[in-house]
DNA sequence: CGTATATTCACCCATATGGATGAATATAAA
DNA sequence: TTTATATTCATCCATATGGGTGAATATACG
């Protein structure tokens, strides 16, 4: 996947998970396993349609998949994409550590006796 | 911190990092260390004001702090809050593993010989 | 003091977002 | 075939968001 697409995907994942209702949906799905849209909506004081939209956002971010069996849509959580967040963070931290190492090197040179 | 506040903070962190410009700002700050607003804005084809606003979003999410020295504002990255994302994900994964364990237990009982 | 610099504040604008409702579609069931 | 159920589609609405511009504020400098 090219850099731009990958950045876009990360944005989608982060944005999708930034909504409390959607995080809650993911948790419920992980707890219960694949669930129907109506069943999921039952947990919330919110219209079925709104939940349906939230599910579509999660789906667009590849955080859930859908298996349609007749008129029932089974929604299933996918955790792998969240690793992309993890990778981004790990990268950020490694850059951080790198800079601190550089600073240390500089300080050591500055104050060394040779 | 109570559960509701903590949820809100996580939402803020995820939303703040969901924007590519803000992720880029964080990366730059981690690479360069504390930087001035104008200096940061110089990296982007975007008005100083817009960058200033992005910084305020990061600040509200506690992802950067600000040290004002005279008319200069030094912005510094803070990586610790990102751990909250990590914790959320770890929790989600543990719930996932728990369910799979339960499933396995059920299957073992179902097909055991006793 | 007057001027230049660094940054935010106050608006404006177009678009996105999260919610709602009612209609449409597709499938199951009687 | 008629009816009920599961879900999405099409709209609508209020608010948030990301961008811009010009004015205001605060500080540094000549």
- Contacts of residue A7 in chain B, CB cutoff 8 Å? 20, 23
Closest-lying nucleotide for B35 based on CA to C1':
C6
Average pLDDT over residues A105-110: 77
User: Residues A27-57: pLDDT tens digits?
Assistant: 999 999 999 999 999 999 999 999 999 999 9
**CB A37, CB A51: distance < 8 Å:** yes
Domains of chain A in start order, with CATH, are 3-111 (1.10.10.10)
Rounded to a whole number, what is the distance in Å from the CA of A112 to chain B's nearest CA?
24
Binned at pLDDT 50, 70 and 90, residue B105 comes out as confident
pLDDT at position A107? 79
pLDDT at position A102? 78
Buried b / exposed e over A15-39, threshold 16 CB at 10 Å, is bbbbbeebbebbbbbbeeeebebee
């Amino acid at each position: 996947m090219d850099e731009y697409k990958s950045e876009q995907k990360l944005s989608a994942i982060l944005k999708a998970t930034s909504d409390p209702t959607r995080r809650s949906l993911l948790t419920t799905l992980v707890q219960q396993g694949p669930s129907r849209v109506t069943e999921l909506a039952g947990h919330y004081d919110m219209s079925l349609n709104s939940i349906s939209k939230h599910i579509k956002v999660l789906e667009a971010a590849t955080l859930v998949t859908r298996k349609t069996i007749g008129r029932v849509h089974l929604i299933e959580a996918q955790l792998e994409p969240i690793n992309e967040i993890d990778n981004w963070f790990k990268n950020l931290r490694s850059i951080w550590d790198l800079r601190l190492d550089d600073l240390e090197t500089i300080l050591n040179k500055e104050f060394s006796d040779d």
